[in-house]
Structure 1
């Protein structure tokens, strides 16, 4: 399924949770509705599917906010514990981080308000509380039951997500605030991750208590969720430790200062024969007459033109759209490279000076070697 150009998929664990929710809710829905098993089952299925629809709304909030910040969204995926949005890079400013993190809870709040408005339209303001609590003062219909359950669940999700513990949205918001105040992203991540560790332990303790006292599925589910949160927080903490060790390294310290380049005025045939084939490169950085980086050219595109007899076209005419934005300043910290789209797109980043003159190329392999060398250095001592 695709929404606003964003592909939405499901993990195999999603099916497990889908069937579990339908199984666990069917009995209580039937007793609440006092109806046939068929009506209760259909109401349960529709409600659970709408519930996952609300999770998609939450993730679309993140995804659309990320796109407004210029971050490519690869996909949204639903899984056992909810959903996640896959983006091409991490936030580069505290403002970006805050807006993207807050957009998910805003999507959930919007869904809550829609459910509340529909409840209000069905029963009126004087019986709204009775409808939400599903007490015996009003007739419970399938629609009212679904709306009230969805309302309650999304309020819980909203509150849970705003807990200031990484990787929850509240933790990312807290990270953005600390980042903004201190100017240090690592400090913000470290603080939010430590809160995430603590929250994971507390949530796991609550799950264990519920399991031992009632043997309920909720307790077991909370323990699994707590472990996932705790593990994510631990990974984030380990990541900050690694990044802090390379924080003083600049792009110019490790890049290739004499990369293979091609001039934009060269013909495609000349570039293909003399550079692409000679150096066996899938892409090459392209410069103008003054050495300024103007984009990248792909070998497959050059091959197409040569085979079509159009090799006299200039390399500058086959630049990949938007590739002129794939550069980073040579004086920038190596840690910033890790968040760049071009590192995944090209397996490298283009380095330029203050005048946009191409000064080097930094490959993914070079980044990995530097990270491995610097993070292994303490253990070697």
Structure 2
């Protein structure tokens, strides 16, 4: 159906949106058919119709979301999504102060770590658990600091689609954005998904 509509309309996104809606409708029909079969006849086969219906609905939505994300973020400069003044922490800050003054206050999952005005790594909030609580007051953040890698950072030259894929691949909610070896800002999955949701509302649900 998508191929036929795409050929007719010349618009892949519109064709995918219509095909996705049809797929979700067909999936709902199978779910209702399965419920009817299970309740009226008592056939366990109705459960299979329900499961297949949910699978088709999920696949239809995922297909549209994937194309929508690609059309929105492909070759789009990352700079427009970057928070350019992120909250940073010092490498010699104690874990205790970090938890009280930063983690509990800002609720971020990732923080750039600075030392003498230079970016030296990053720290994940969850990693404070690797240090015994009795040692938080005497342990600096450098003890749990991570080096900057492709899992937690990205060049400013990257496009938004590449970063979204990297976040999904590494199960990351935030990434540090680098301009060479300098801190350019931070990018969050929430901001990218927010832009995607706004596009979905404007374009219409898939």
**8 Å Cα contact 2:94-2:140 kept in structure 1:** yes
**8 Å Cα contact 1:262-1:286 kept in structure 2:** yes
Aligned-residue offset at 1:373: 2.5
Structure 1 segments of 4 or more deviating over 6 A?
none
Instruction: Return the alpha-carbon distance in structure 1 between the equivalents of residues 128 and 51 of structure 2.
Output: 47
Instruction: Return the alpha-carbon distance in structure 2 between the equivalents of residues 370 and 310 of structure 1.
Output: 40
Match of 1:291 among 118, 128, 136: 118
Q: Residue 235 of structure 1 aligns with which residue? A: 61
Q: Residue 161 of structure 2 aligns with which residue? A: 335
Match of 1:367 among 168, 192, 197: 192
**8 Å Cα contact 1:295-1:323 kept in structure 2:** yes
**8 Å Cα contact 2:103-2:125 kept in structure 1:** no
Report SS of the residue matched to 1:370. helix
Aligned-residue offset at 1:285: 1.8
Instruction: Return the alpha-carbon distance in structure 2 between the equivalents of residues 230 and 218 of structure 1.
Output: 19
Structure 1: gaps spanning 5 or more residues = 1-185
Structure 2: gaps spanning 5 or more residues = 1-11
**8 Å Cα contact 2:97-2:137 kept in structure 1:** no
Q: Residue 122 of structure 1 aligns with which residue? A: none
**8 Å Cα contact 1:343-1:349 kept in structure 2:** no
Q: Deviations over 1:173-231 (max 9, x none)?
A: xxxxxxxxxxxxx99xx7xx98xx6xx89xx7xx99xx9xxx99586455335423421
Aligned-residue offset at 1:297: 4.8
Change (3 A) 1:255 1:272: same
Change (3 A) 1:233 1:273: closer
Aligned-residue offset at 1:243: 1.0
Q: Residue 351 of structure 1 aligns with which residue? A: 177
Higher helix share: 1
Instruction: Return the alpha-carbon distance in structure 2 between the equivalents of residues 226 and 343 of structure 1.
Output: 29
Aligned-residue offset at 1:294: 1.6
Q: Residue 315 of structure 1 aligns with which residue? A: 141
TM-score normalized by structure 2? 0.56
CA RMSD of aligned residues (A): 4.6
**8 Å Cα contact 2:123-2:145 kept in structure 1:** yes
Aligned-residue offset at 1:259: 0.7
Q: Residue 254 of structure 1 aligns with which residue? A: 81
Report SS of the residue matched to 2:118. coil
TM-score normalized by structure 1? 0.34
Change (3 A) 1:270 1:358: farther
Greater relative CO (CA pairs within 8 A, separation 6+): 2
Q: Deviations over 1:11-39 (max 9, x none)?
A: xxxxxxxxxxxxxxxxxxxxxxxxxxxxx
Instruction: Please identify the structure whose Cα radius of gyration is greater.
Output: 1
